Structure 1
Amino acid sequence: MEIERINDNTVKFYLSYIDIEERGFTREEVWYNRDKSEELFWEMMDEINDETEFEIEGPLWIQVHAMNNGIEVTVTRAQVSDDDNADAHFGMDDPRKHYEPDPSMFTNPEQLMNELNDEPVVWTSDMFVFEEFENLIPLSKKIPPYSVKSSLYSFENKFYMHVIYDEAEMDDEDKSDFCSIISEYGSLSQVTIHRLEEYGKIIMESDVLETVHKYFGE
């Protein structure tokens, strides 16, 4: 999970589907089961509070974006004036009870529409972030060959590997296996390729892991 403190009242976190599954939830539960999505949300807020001291006070505004490989959640503490009182509005003193998301808050509307039309949702690419370039070296030795196109960028003192899957060669199970191996050394990121192309520095234009292994893995 990646956490970004936007300001005193707002925090954003990104949770990949691998992170979700490691916490004992499934995509379907998070999308369609209100109790499960709420349980996951409060687990994340407890973790965020431990790491950033973002305390839950009063009602929360929650914005969720579903992405190919995870969910991005922005949480803002609603501002209550001195003349106002959150408890008076909500009739309770437990801030967790102020949480009233839509039952489908984690639903990707586009994905639901595709499912209703019996059109499969295509998982075409992923972005991975590595804290150190050295993390790529043992990965390059361990990972078997997969049918992917890859490029490597540096941005804000981290390294980002963009991967495009060969849909003719890799199914979702192959992609999940690929992500699981990489997650031992890096993690999924919500940074887009467009942002990296504009603000990052290209390190390798293609065949990232093969190139790393060739020059650093011997």
Structure 2
Amino acid sequence: MKIEKISDNQIKFTLSKSDLTERDLKIEDLTKTNEKTTALFREIMEQALKEYDFHSDNTPLMVEAVPAAMDGIMIIVTKLQDSKDNKEENKFNIMKQTKELNRFKRKSIMSFEPEIKADDSNIIIYSFENLDDVTNVCDRISKRFKGISSLFKYNDRYFMLFQNDISKGNSSDLNDIEIIISEYGEKHISTAISKYFLMEHGEKLVENKAVQLLSASFV
């Protein structure tokens, strides 16, 4: 876990995939109050105090969690100087309120509406080293997969997003095709958050019909 002091009132933490795994956390866990998120918040505040003498001073805190990379998360903790200005905002507790944590406010990581609240079980994301592997996968699953598929390029790897198109009555067994996909690629955290991260930061190569188009070009 990396920590960086932005200012006297703001500090940033970056957690990698291994950091999340070590703490048995998933990105979606950060959207709710539970023992894991409570422990995480205590940990980052203790580290902030130890390394930068950053403490809340009984000041309300805003905790923002946003994707930092495909499999990581960035947490920004900000001291709110004038809590009166924020009384009308919705408060999202990342954990149970305790004396040592004081009061804080949180901008929900699930801020994309309305698609971001879709069922994550309908999404799988894999990355591949080259286009040949992508094309091979598309050819092998083309007859089984009837949903939405998009191809992105990010950090010199090719990312495929597979999603059931429930609105059109198309439903594929993602577990079934995943057996094939895993022969060629590496699975990543597959949530709506990851989907929107790719859409924002990745280079979109094929939208919605990647499997159909790439399988048709297979020789």
TM-score, with length taken from structure 1 = 0.46
